[in-house]
Amino acid sequence: MNTARTPDGPLDVPTIDLSRFREGSAAERAAVAAELDRAASTIGLMRVSGHRIDASVVAGLGAAMDGFFGLPMWQKKALRPASAEYNRGYTPPRAERLSLQPGASSPAEEFEAFNVGRSAEDFPGLGLDELQYAPNLWPLRPESFETGVMAWFGEAARVAREVTSVMAVALGLDEKFFAGYQDHALEVLRLNNYRVPAGETTTSGEPVGLGAHTDSGILTVLWADPDIRGLQVLDDSGVWHDVIASPGTLLVNLGDLLARWTNDRWISAQHRVLAPTDREGLLVRRRSAAFFHDGNADAVISVLPGCATGEEPVHYESVTVADHLAAKLHAPRTPLDERVPG
Ligand SMILES: O=C(O)CCC(=O)C(=O)O
Ligand SMILES: [Fe+2]
């Protein structure tokens, strides 16, 4: 069994080998699709290996994050979006927004982020909404920031599409089924930096960092600093399980749109991020890069015919990606979810 659940330890997250799907025999491809189906229908989360992202691209992403988040606060704040509706640029830590004195912050207040995404100008002639497909804000420093971040963005977008090909096969559909939903997809890369509060070395284990949420779109390709505790996934008995990134693999979690398409055969799992700690339980900085592959804004998501048969009623009305995202953004949220537009 692929999903050995250990109540207090790390969850056994299945690994999907994309190279086996890309290059394997028909039988191997079917086996990879079956593994994905099992991961998607039990925990909504998988590791992805064989993704072919060059180590230099990972290094470029890390250098961009270190360079930008290491800038003085006044320089980072210059990259804030003009309005909160506009999901681009810098989100300062709550500690900074509340003007707390140094040393008075907690891990929950030390989370900062930077967003980049697809812009209307990337798809000339489609007349896309310029708020959803907003232009990016780029810092002048570090100089390699845009190149490093966009190299990662391109690779994450490719991996997202490769995973959706495996998903189509797993659902008994044509391998290219999702292509018509992702040719002008809303896609946002959120660079997250969970800083260590000044003077603190340990944590109470409270749910701080990023509050419990599900991702809204099709799927999320997640890179995170390996071997650091922080991300947790909720199971159906109410237990939170650690999910720790490992070197060389990515994490992919399903978003709400796949739960809708599959009439809940597949899971968009609730997850959260605790104050990050190392193996000794000491607070450490943690970086992550969450690539949200949300689909074309105008695409209509309806329960797939194969998932609406039998006694199971249809759980969801048809909805456009844009309407689904807007409804999610305006749904009542707990204070910890305040910074989760994804
Ligand atoms: O930092 C992480 O590991 C997860 C981040 C996340 O869930 C998100 O940005 O939606
Ligand atoms: Fe998330």
* Residue 79 Cβ contacting ligand 1 at under 6 Å: no
Q: Please answer whether residues 271 and 233 qualify as being in contact, where contact means their C-beta atoms are separated by less than 8 angstroms.
A: yes
Residue range(s) defining the domain that contains residue 261: 15-338
245 with 224: CB under 8 angstroms? yes
Of the chain, the end-to-end C-alpha distance in Å amounts to 31
Amino acid at 255: G
> How many structural domains compose the chain?
1
Interface predicted TM-score (ipTM) over 0.95: yes
CATH number at residue 226: 2.60.120.330
The verdict on residue 301 lying in a domain is: yes
C-alpha 262/C-alpha 238 separation (Å) is: 23
Contact 293, 217 (CB under 8 A): yes
Q: What is the distance in A from the centroid of ligand 1 to the CA of 142? A: 24
Domain presence at residue 271: yes
Q: Is the CB of 210 under 6 A from ligand 1?
A: yes
Measured from the Cβ of residue 242, the count of other Cβ atoms closer than 10 Å reads 15
CA of residue 269 to ligand 2 center, whole Å: 9
Is 9 inside a domain boundary?
Answer: no
Tokens representing 39? 């991961």
Task: Please report whether residue 278 resides in a domain.
Answer: yes
**Which protein residue has the closest C-alpha to ligand 1 atom 1?**
288
Q: Is the CB of 255 under 6 A from ligand 1?
A: no
CA distance 132 to 130: 6
- Residue 4 falls inside a structural domain: no
* pLDDT at position 329: 84
**Per the domain annotation, does 167 fall within a domain?**
yes
Pocket test residue of 13, 112, 288, 338 for ligand 1, highest count of atoms within 8 A of CB: 288
Per-residue pLDDT of the chain (342 residues; tens, 9 = 90+): 223 334 456 678 999 999 999 999 999 999 999 999 999 999 999 999 999 999 999 999 999 999 999 999 999 999 999 998 899 999 999 867 765 555 556 777 888 999 999 999 999 999 999 999 999 999 999 999 999 999 999 999 999 999 999 999 999 999 999 999 999 999 999 999 998 887 778 776 665 667 899 999 999 999 999 999 999 999 988 889 999 999 999 999 999 999 999 999 999 999 999 999 998 989 999 999 999 999 999 999 999 988 987 777 899 999 999 999 999 988 765 443 444 444
> Is residue 198 situated within a structural domain?
yes
The predicted structure's pLDDT at residue 1:
23
Angstrom distance (rounded) from CA 164 to CA 174: 11
Residue at 10 is within a domain = no
Residue 101 C-alpha to ligand 1 middle, in angstroms? Answer: 27
